[in-house]
Every structure is written in structure tokens, then in C-alpha cells.
Amino acid sequence: MDKVKQKDLILYSGLIILGLAAPYLFSAFKVQLTYLCVLIVLAMTWNLQGGEMGYNTFGNILFYGLGMYLTASVQVGMFFPLAEWTESGGEKTFVHTTAQYFQGIGVGLLVSAIVPAVIAGAIGYAILGLRGHYFAICTLGLGIAAGEIAGGIEIIGAGQGFTTPPFPAEIVDTEARGKFFYFLSFALLVGTFIFVKYIYGSRFRLILNAIRDNEDKAEAMGIQTMKYKIVGWMCSAFFCGLAGGIMGGLIGYIDSTDVAFDGREMGVFMVLMAILGGKGTLWGPVIGATLFHFFKEGLWTLILGWQYVALGVLIVVIVVYFPEGLMGWLREKYPERFGEVIDEKDRKAQVELK
Amino acid sequence: MNKIAKLFVTFISAITLALVSFTSSFAKVEGEYIVLGSAISLTGKYSSNGVHTQNGYNMAVDRINKMGGVEVQGKKYKFEIIYYDDESNPKRAAQLAERLIKQDGVHYMLGPYSSGLTKAIAPVTEKYKIPMVEANGASRSLFTKGYKYLFAVLSPANQYLEVAIDLAVEKNGGKGVKIAQAFEQDAFSQDVRLGILDAAKRTGSEIIIDDKLPKELNDMAATLAKVKAVKPDVLVVSGHTKGALTAIRQISEMKVDVPMLAMTHCDAAKLSKQHGKKSEFALCASQWHKNLSYKDKFFGSGKKYAKDFQKEFGYDPPYQSAESSAALLVFKDAFERANSFDRDAVRDALVDTEMQTFYGNIKFGPGGQNVAKPMILFQVRCKGDDCENRVVAPTKWASDKFYHPIPKWSERS
């Protein structure tokens, strides 16, 4: 047991060192690496619902978008009148000082973690009673509705979009902005991973699994399933909100349906990545998101105009050949490496029977 | 677990190696080529206009290269453009701009299609001090952010249809009119809307319907039903290509009678070809028309440009293509005047631009917008089944008189 732990320790410290060194090693790829961290966070949090709890949510994009708007609004609103900032064609220019910028984004991120979690609690209370595809369709509607509503609210820029505060001009180093957002997202990734790993070792995960496997039985055993479902969703919303807040600052421009409540892209990607890697596993979403991001960045520009066709093919291939994801596939091939005990004789007997 | 861990470590190291070997950055000027970068919408909701933009860029690159290229410090250079597809998505566009600058080493950018995407890219080019000449981001809010490296060859969006309201008021004997308007919820159309609000205030007109239309616009029947009920003097619609097509389709289906119909993007939507007589009398704002009398030595006149474009790409050039071609003429001019590849020298040269192109005069205001060129209005007119865009305002270039009011559907054959 100790030996395994030691190996884990080496693996984790190796990954953390790689993560910390990455923006210096691959200076030109900082933005892509930041995206990667955010994608992994989204896939891991989706996995809590879709993988562990068996509730296929398309609604996590709601918390991501909320986080984005909240961070930007707080960052501006703390120091300047928000309405004048977002007014299109406004004649005034407001400039954040360095201190204001960082204070603003700090408080903004705090708000964008808490508010989505609270909202997840409220919405969850209302709709987590739905099961199966009813829940999926309902959450799909949430994301779309949020996009349309945000597109009509003048104070956050409505259809014009919301330009987030530019990085303070007093910092001359052009690399500073990239590094700042990378480390922010990397910290979020590490935090999310530690949290999810903690959940994986806890009773909470077993309860989520029980809900997935048979909710009625779980309830019959005396588990208050509703409570756990809501808490699980609130946890996801907390991290999705933070991810959105960071992305808003990084992209610099928030559009209601294309950037914030981007269910068509981010909303689908987070599901796809978790399934690609293997839902219901700790490492699955991490590997899935990494592979997906490399596929996307590497190949998409080579097949300009056909990338969505390629994505469609990828989805078909995943669903047909890796229905349990890469981790599930590996587990089936090398079960002993996942700590599963195999009776060799029994296996051989099965092979012969075939 | 340990095997999995090993597998993972191998995977990570493979990627690391791949990335390190890939980080060799290109130069801004490679051999005899000046490399420009652009993220263009080749897929997604702006794909048709994205292609118009790309065709415009390519046409100008070919022409300039064929006619000797760009001369800097006595040496001839040719233009080359690196394209990426931004999928009509601002998030992707910002990421690609970063990629063009950091990974491909591009030092000069051409704009994307649409105001929203330009808004997403401008903060990036500004951060790295990369001069960007853009031809398709008209939203006024682009020019009030104090950007120093952004130059737009087109007139700002709020000017698009202001003139149309003035025309309507003139036809109404100088009295204010009743305006019904419907705009897509995006940066460009919302800015056109602000222009109308200003014009309404100025002329004492009243806005009786003010609707917002969704992106990916396919239906505006609700707005049109209201228009039928309240009978405004002017109906204003803006929503890129899809907005123009949807408006004409449903107005003719629902037989909506309105004395004046003002729109944007009629030529990009090829309204007169696609909808023929149904689109007759639509009044359209345009940055350019081939009949204007501007000239330059690369494309000759607007008519010549239209003919060459038709030959090359098989359709009449919409203004999106013309303004995109003009962006390259501006770059060439700036490089030659700067006589250097230093980004700030090029930027300073761009500030001092004052030139005439087949597309119009170009001179940049303090915010980066083109202040030397007026917007024009044309009206779709038909002879038999053959429909054409005819310039009706401003009077200097007007080939036809503005036809007002639009006859009722019951009287149209």
C-alpha cells in the first residue's frame, strides 16, 4: 500500500512541476494551456453528475457563463459605473489601475464561485426530481434560456457583448497577462482535482453511485437522495463558476450566446471529453480533455472547414468503439492494473467457451 | 495503477517533446514574403460573409503580388496570408489571434468578419502592439476604446441607416415618421440600432416597434405581424445576411405593406438574385457600390474590380469583398511609406494614411475608423425579372431616383 502511495506521490509532484514549468517551457502556448486547464476542470465537474451520479446535465454551462458575467461585472462595478462601461458607443473610457484590476478580479472570482453554487442549489431543488432524459432536456433548456436572457440585459452589454477590463497597462511585460491567467487556471485545476479526489475516497461518492445505479433502492436504504444530488450539483457549479470567471478575463470579450452560455461548444465539449476519457473515473476526464484539446488544436486548422465533420466522426468512433471511454477500455483490457483480481483459470475458461 | 501512471507519464512526455520541437517561430517577413495573419469565419453563422472577406483579401494579394508587390528599402516583397477558421465564435477568434501572433510569429493582422469578432481580437492585437487593418468591424464601440493599433477602412455602423431615416422624413414633408425596427442581438446590428435612435431623436420621429431578433435568425413573423397591425412609415431590419433573407422572405409571404423598407447586407445576401422581384424597392445601406467613381492603379475603377472579381469567383462582389481588398491596399501603402518592417513605424504610417482606392477615400480618425468615406444607399429595382441594385443616395452618385412609397402587394405583379 505504501509503495503505491509513493508512486502516486512521484506522479503528482511530477505533474505539478510540469504544470508550473509549462508556461516557461512552452511560452508560445500559454493560452492553449490555460484553455486546457479550464477544459479539464469542466470535464471533471461534469463527471460528478454525468459519470458518478448518472444525471446527464447540459446545464453546467449555465454556471460557467454566470461566473463569466459575474466576475467581469464585479471587476468593473467595484470601481466604475457598470452601465456606462457597457453602454455601446459610450464616449468615456475607464482604465483600471493595477491594484484595482487584481482586487476586482479577486472579489469577482469569489462572487462567481458562490453565486452559481447558490443558484445551483435553488435550481437543483426545483428540477433534480426529474430523471433520465427529462433532466437532460430540462438542463439543456436552462443553458439556452440563460443565453437569450443575458442577451437582453442592457447593463451587462446585451447583444453588444461585454468587453472585460484590459490587463493593466502599467505592467509592461506582454507575457505577464498570459502567465497570470495560466497560473490562475492551473491553481483552479489543482484545487478541483484535490477536491474530486477527496470525493472519490469518501462516502459521498458511494452515495452518488448508489443514486446512479438505482435511485429508488438508495432511497429505500434511507439515503436522502435529493439532498446529495443538490450538494453534488452545487460543488460542480462552484468550480464551473470559477472556470467561467477566469475564461472571461482571458478572452477579454463576453458575448451572451457565443462565449458565456456557449452550450453548443463548451457545453457539448465538457460531456464529450468526459465520455472520451471514461466517465465515472478520476483520470478519465483529465485524459479525455487533454486528448480532445490536442486533437482540436492540432488537427482543426489542418482540415479547415471540415473540423466539425471530423468532430462528428470522432463522436461516432468514441461511442461505437469506446463506449466506456479510454479508461473503461483500458480497464477491460488490463483489469489487474486497476486493482481488480482476476481468476486466471476462470478467464481462460471463458475464452475457451467463446 | 502504476502501469497507468507510466502510460500517462509517457503520454505527457511525448506531448512535451512534440510541443518543444514545434515552438520554432516564423518570422514576420520570410524571404521575399510579408506574412499577414487573419482569423476568418469559414464555418458557422458568418460563413458566407467570411468567404466574401477571404475572397476580397485573396484577390488583392494576387493583384498586388502580380503588379510588383511591396517595395521596402529597395527590395520587392510579396504578401502572404495565414488563415484560420474562427467558426464565427469570438472565443475562438481571440484564441486564434493569440496563436497567429505567438506561434506563427505574425506581426501584421487583417481583420476577421463582423464587429463581434473584431471586438474579441482587438484586445489581443493591442496587447502585443500588432497593427491590424480591419475591413469588417463597424461597431462604433470599437472606436471608443482608445485602441492604437486598430484601423478600419469602413464607416462606423451607426451611420449605416441614419440616412434612410433622413430620406423618409424628407418624403414626409420634413415631419417625423413612425419607425418600426427589428435588430439581431449582436454588436453590429445593435449599433445600427443606436444610429436609428439618434436619427429619430434628431428628426422628431417616433419608434413604435423596437424588437430584438435572435442570432441564427430564421423567423421574424412576430415582428411582421405587429408591423401589419400598427402600419409604420418605415421598417428597419438589420441582422447580417440571414436577417436580410429572412425579412424579404417573410414580408413577401405575409404580404406586409410598408411604405419604406430599410436594411443592411442586401448585396452580401444577393437579395436581387435570390429573391428577385420580391426584394424590389428594398433600400439598403452599403459601404460601397461598383458604380462609384473612385479609382486606383491596382483595380482601376469599381466597375473593373467587379468584372475581375466576377471572373475570378463567379459572383458580383458585395461590399464586404471590396472593403477587404482595400485593406491590403492600405497595408501596402503603409509599408512603402514606413519603408521599414518595424511595427511601430508601420503603425505610424497607417495613422498618416490618406489615399484613394477603388473602394473609396481612406483616412483614419483618432479612434481608427475611416472618416473620409460616406455610406451609400441603394435600392433594388427590377426590369422584368432582372433585378439590380441602383444607387439612390447620396445624390452625387445616384443613378436612379429613390422610389417612394413602395406599392402595396396587391398592386404588385
ipTM of this model?
0.77
Assigned domain for B339 exists: yes
Q: What is the pLDDT of residue A4?
A: 63
Contacts of B93 (CB under 8 A, 6+ apart): B39, B86, B112, B117, B120, B121
Q: What is the pLDDT of residue A41?
A: 96
Cβ neighbour number for residue A17 with a 10 Å cutoff: 10
CATH of the domain at B313: 3.40.50.2300
Within this chain, do residues B173 and B253 fall inside the same structural domain, yes or no?
yes
How many contacts (CB atoms, under 8 Å) link A and B? 164
- Which of B363, B387, B403 represents a domain boundary (last residue)? B363
Task: Write down the H helix ranges in B67-134.
Answer: 90-102, 115-127
Residue type, B325: S
In this complex, the residue of B25, B89, B124 whose CB is nearest that of residue A258 is B89
pTM for the whole thing?
Answer: 0.83
Assigned domain for B5 exists: no
Which H/E stretch holds residue B262?
Answer: strand B260-264
The segment with the largest mean pLDDT, out of A152-161, B286-295, B327-336, is B327-336
Distances (CA, A) of B407 to B254, B255, B260, B278: 15, 11, 10, 12
Mutate to test the interface with B, among A8, A253, A340 (most CBs of B within 10 A): A253
- A144 burial via Cβ count (<10 Å: 0-12, 13-18, 19+): middle
Q: What is the mean pLDDT of residues B315-324?
A: 92
| DSSP letter string, B11-32 | HHHHHHHHHHHH-PPPPSEETT
Q: How far apart are the C-alpha atoms of A240 and A254, rounded to whole Å?
A: 16
Within this chain, do residues B114 and B37 fall inside the same structural domain, yes or no?
yes
Distances (CA, A) of B181 to B168, B192, B243, B251: 14, 10, 12, 14
Minimal C-alpha gap between A152 and chain B (Å): 8
In this complex, the residue of B1, B91, B215 whose CB is nearest that of residue A251 is B91
Which H/E stretch holds residue B239?
Answer: none
Assigned domain for B144 exists: yes
Q: What is the pLDDT of residue B225?
A: 94
Give rounded-to-5 percent helix, strand, coil for chain A: 75, 0, 20
Q: How far apart are the C-alpha atoms of B28 and B100, rounded to whole Å?
A: 11
Average pLDDT, chain B: 88
Buried b (16+ CB within 10 A) or exposed e, B64-73: bbeeebbebe
Q: What is the pLDDT of residue A353?
A: 60
Q: What is the pLDDT of residue B338?
A: 93
In this complex, the residue of A88, A258, A300 whose CB is nearest that of residue B90 is A258
Within this chain, do residues B90 and B166 fall inside the same structural domain, yes or no?
no
Within this chain, do residues B36 and B100 fall inside the same structural domain, yes or no?
yes
The answer to whether residues B294 and B319 touch, using CB atoms and an 8 Å cutoff, is no
Distances (CA, A) of B405 to A254, B102, B255, B258, B259: 41, 55, 15, 8, 5
Within this chain, do residues B40 and B139 fall inside the same structural domain, yes or no?
yes
Minimal C-alpha gap between B50 and chain A (Å): 12
Within this chain, do residues B249 and B328 fall inside the same structural domain, yes or no?
no
The answer to whether residues B284 and B378 touch, using CB atoms and an 8 Å cutoff, is yes
Q: How far apart are the C-alpha atoms of B320 and B388, rounded to whole Å?
A: 18
- A31 vs B98: CB contact, 8 Å cut-off? yes
Q: CA neighbours within 13 Å on the CB side: how many for B23?
A: 15
Q: What is the mean pLDDT of residues B126-149?
A: 89
Q: What is the pLDDT of residues B340-396, one digit of tens each?
A: 999 999 999 999 999 999 999 999 998 899 999 889 999 999 988 888 889 998 888
Domain with B230 in it: 159-286+375-411
Cell for A186?
492551473
- B90 vs A334: CB contact, 8 Å cut-off? no
Chain B residue with Cα closest to A177 = B127
- A88 vs B187: CB contact, 8 Å cut-off? yes
- B127 vs A174: CB contact, 8 Å cut-off? yes
Cell for A124?
437543483
Within this chain, do residues B276 and B332 fall inside the same structural domain, yes or no?
no
B363 bridge partner residues = B354
Contacts of A261 (CB under 8 A, 6+ apart): A61, A62, A64, A65, A143, A144, A146, A147, A150
Q: What is the pLDDT of residues A33-76, one digit of tens each?
A: 999 999 999 999 999 999 999 999 999 999 999 999 999 999 99
Into how many domains does chain B fold? 2
Of A180, A324, A198, A176, nearest in space to A246 by CA: A180
Strands B108-110 and B33-40: parallel
pLDDT of B329 above 90: yes
In this complex, the residue of A32, A259, A294 whose CB is nearest that of residue B90 is A259
Assigned domain for B17 exists: no
Task: Write down the H helix ranges in B268-381.
Answer: 271-274, 302-313, 319-338, 343-351
Minimal C-alpha gap between B398 and chain A (Å): 30
Q: What is the pLDDT of residue A304?
A: 66
Assigned domain for B12 exists: no
Q: What is the pLDDT of residue A350?
A: 66
Q: CA neighbours within 13 Å on the CB side: how many for B236?
A: 34
- B1 vs A8: CB contact, 8 Å cut-off? yes
Assigned domain for B14 exists: no
Within this chain, do residues B311 and B388 fall inside the same structural domain, yes or no?
no
Q: Is B73 helix (H, G, I), strand (E, B) or coil?
A: coil
Within this chain, do residues B167 and B181 fall inside the same structural domain, yes or no?
yes
Cβ neighbour number for residue B383 with a 10 Å cutoff: 7
How many percent of chain B have pLDDT more than 90?
A: 58
Of B139, B132, B134, nearest in space to B152 by CA: B134
Minimal C-alpha gap between B303 and chain A (Å): 31
Which residue reads 462567481 in cell numbers?
Answer: A112
pLDDT of B88 above 50: yes
Cβ neighbour number for residue A168 with a 10 Å cutoff: 16
- A252 vs B94: CB contact, 8 Å cut-off? yes
Q: What is the pLDDT of residue B24?
A: 42
Terminus-to-terminus CA distance in chain A, angstroms? Answer: 36
Strands B206-213 and B178-184: parallel
Cell for B215?
442570432
In this complex, the residue of B7, B19, B190 whose CB is nearest that of residue A160 is B190
* Residue A262 dihedral angles phi and psi, to the nearest 5°: -90, 65
Of A137, A139, A98, A104, nearest in space to A120 by CA: A139
Q: What is the pLDDT of residues A296-332, one digit of tens each?
A: 888 776 776 677 788 888 888 888 888 888 888 888 8
Q: What is the pLDDT of residue A342?
A: 67
pLDDT of B1 above 80: no
In this complex, the residue of A18, A25, A28 whose CB is nearest that of residue B103 is A28
Q: How far apart are the C-alpha atoms of A190 and A195, rounded to whole Å?
A: 9
Q: Sorting pLDDT into bands at 50, 70 and 90, what band is B23?
A: very low
Which residue reads 481468476 in cell numbers?
Answer: A343
Report, as ranges of residue numbers, the positions in chain A whose pLDDT lies below 50.
1
- A26 vs B23: CB contact, 8 Å cut-off? yes
Q: What is the pLDDT of residues B215-266, one digit of tens each?
A: 778 899 999 999 999 999 999 999 988 889 999 999 999 999 999 999 999 8
Q: What is the pLDDT of residues B296-316, one digit of tens each?
A: 999 999 999 999 999 999 998
Assigned domain for B231 exists: yes
- B123 vs A166: CB contact, 8 Å cut-off? yes
- B4 vs A148: CB contact, 8 Å cut-off? no
